[in-house]
Amino acid sequence: MGLGVSVGLECGAEGPQNGTIGPPVKNVSDPKSPLFAPKAPRTPRPHTSGVCVRGCGALMDFAPQIDRFLPVGRLKYYFAVDTVYVGRKLGLLFFPFLHQDWQVHYQQDGPVAPRFDVNAPDLYIPAMAFITYLLVAGLALGTQNRFSPDSLGLQASSALAWLLLEVLAVLLSLYLFSLPTDLTTPDLLAFAGYKYVGMIAALLAGLMFGSTGYHAVLGWCCLSIFIFMVRERPPPLPPLPLPPPPDGGWIHPKNNEKFGCSAPKCCDLGVTTTGLCLKFPF
C-alpha cells in the first residue's frame, strides 16, 4: 500500500500539470524558445535552378535571331520625333502630291533622325494612330449602341493580327524572290501603320457627315497612301557588279571595238542595258 502511494506520488510529480496528457508545455513567450529562432535561408532546389539556367541560355541563344528581324537597339531611332515632324508627316500623308524632295538624307554612319528628315520612317505616328483608331472605332460602335469591352478587344486583336500578317507577307515575298532591299522590319511596320491615319480620318468623317463623308474621305486617303507608298521608296541600292566577261569578252555595238575578245570571230547574243553587245566566240 505504501509502495503504491509512493509510486503514484512520484508519477504525479513527474507528469504534466493541470491533468493534461503529453509532454509539458513550454513557455512560448520565452525569447529562447525555438519559435523565435531565426529561420535558415531556403536554398533553391537543384532541378529548379537547372531549369532557370537552361531557360536563360535558350533566351540568350534566341536573342540574336530576334534582333535580326526586329533590331531592338535601333527602336530609339524610330521614336526620335518632335511636334514639327509629326505635323509635316501628317500633311505628307494626306497631300503627298505636293511634296517634291523624296530623298532620304544620310549621315556618315546612317540615316538622320526622323525629326530632321520628313522622309524618314518612324514608329511614333503608326503607334499613336493604331491606339487612336481603336478609340475612334469604339466611339463609332457606341453611337450605334453596339459597344462592349469584348467588341473593342476583338477589334484590337483583329487589327493587330492583320498588321502583323501584312508585314510577314512582305518579308516572305522578299525572301522567296530574293529581292535586294534596305528595308528592315521596323521600316515595314512603319509603312504598314501609316494607313491608320487615313482610317481615323474616314471614321471621323463618317461620324460627322454620315456614309457619304465616310466614303469620300476613305477614297481620298486610299489614293493618298498609294501615292505616298509609291514615292516613299527606300534609298537606291549600290549598282550590282557586272558578271565576269566570258571568253568572248565585251564588244561595243557601234565601232566593234573589242574588250578582251581573243577569238577572231564572235556571234551576237544581244545588247545589254549598258549599251554593250555581248559576243561569244565559236
d(CA 174, CA 105): 24
Note whether 265 and 190 are same-domain residues: no
Note whether 255 and 221 are same-domain residues: no
Note whether 136 and 221 are same-domain residues: yes
Note whether 204 and 263 are same-domain residues: no
- Name the domain count of the chain: 2
Note whether 115 and 213 are same-domain residues: yes
- What is the residue range of 264's domain? 250-281
pLDDT in the model for residue 115: 92
Note whether 177 and 261 are same-domain residues: no
Note whether 123 and 161 are same-domain residues: yes
Categorise residue 109: left if φ over 0, alpha if ψ from -120 to 50, beta otherwise.
Answer: alpha
Write the pLDDT tens digit of every residue in 24-65.
Answer: 554 545 555 555 555 555 555 555 455 555 655 555 554 455
Does residue 81 form part of some domain?
yes
For the record, the C-alpha cell of 166 comes out as: 501584312
Note whether 156 and 223 are same-domain residues: yes
Does residue 115 form part of some domain?
yes
- Per the model's pLDDT, the better-predicted residue between 38 and 267 turns out to be 38
